[in-house]
């Protein structure tokens, strides 16, 4: 019998047990693998070059969700459901029913468009705020560059002032 294990082929001669009970005796007891949370693994995908558990976007924001954001998502969901419910009426029925459904669908699609646009504007505002915060942080770091280098150099070389 040929077995491939991690890309390595092995030729193995096995005697096949007569029943599954015999096989159970040959195998060690089965243990459940720990979940990633139990094993202490970081949440989310691993990013090459980043230490485990760290995000390239900085620390996670632990503030409660913005109520305005929830309202926007609720409005989008309601508009999508409305559009979805109007789709069959556009395909079936008399011409007057189709025209009224078309007008209703136009309004619902307008609401959906506006809700999604509002969400994008909200996100743009958050990104602009974050961008200005990062610019200020970079400016502060540029001002303290020499001091930070001197401190690090002193730690590396063990140059402590003993005056």
Per-residue pLDDT 10s for the chain (163 aa) are 555 555 555 444 445 445 555 556 656 666 676 665 566 555 555 666 666 766 666 666 566 678 888 999 999 999 999 999 998 888 888 888 889 999 999 999 999 999 999 999 999 999 999 999 999 999 999 999 999 999 999 998 866 555 4
Tokens 């989008």 sit on residue: 76
Task: State the Cα–Cα distance between residues 63 and 33, nearest whole angstrom.
Answer: 33
- Structure confidence at residue 102 (pLDDT): 92
Angle among Cα 5, 10, 13 to the nearest 5 degrees reads 120
Task: State the Cα–Cα distance between residues 25 and 29, nearest whole angstrom.
Answer: 9
- Structure confidence at residue 12 (pLDDT): 46
- Phi/psi zone of residue 137: left (φ > 0), alpha (ψ -120 to 50 degrees), beta? alpha
- Structure confidence at residue 142 (pLDDT): 94
Task: State the Cα–Cα distance between residues 101 and 42, nearest whole angstrom.
Answer: 49
Tokens 């468009």 sit on residue: 113
Task: State the Cα–Cα distance between residues 149 and 134, nearest whole angstrom.
Answer: 21
**Structure pTM?**
0.50
- Structure confidence at residue 17 (pLDDT): 46
**Is-contact 86 104, C-beta < 8 A?**
yes
């Amino acid at each position: 019998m040929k077995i491939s294990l991690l890309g390595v082929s092995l030729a193995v001669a096995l005697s096949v047990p007569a029943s599954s009970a015999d096989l159970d005796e040959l195998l060690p007891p089965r243990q459940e693998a720990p979940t990633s949370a139990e094993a202490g693994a970081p949440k989310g995908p691993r990013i090459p070059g980043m230490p485990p558990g760290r995000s390239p976007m900085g620390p996670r924001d632990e503030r409660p969700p913005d109520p305005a954001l929830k309202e926007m998502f609720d409005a989008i969901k309601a508009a999508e459901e409305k559009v979805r419910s109007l789709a069959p009426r556009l395909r079936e029925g008399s011409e007057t029913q189709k025209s009224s459904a078309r007008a209703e669908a136009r309004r619902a699609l307008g609401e959906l468009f506006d809700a999604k646009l509002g969400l994008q504007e909200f996100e743009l505002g958050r990104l602009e705020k974050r961008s200005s915060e990062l610019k200020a942080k970079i400016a502060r770091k540029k001002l303290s560059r020499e001091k930070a280098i001197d401190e690090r150099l002193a730690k590396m070389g063990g140059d402590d002032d003993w005056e």
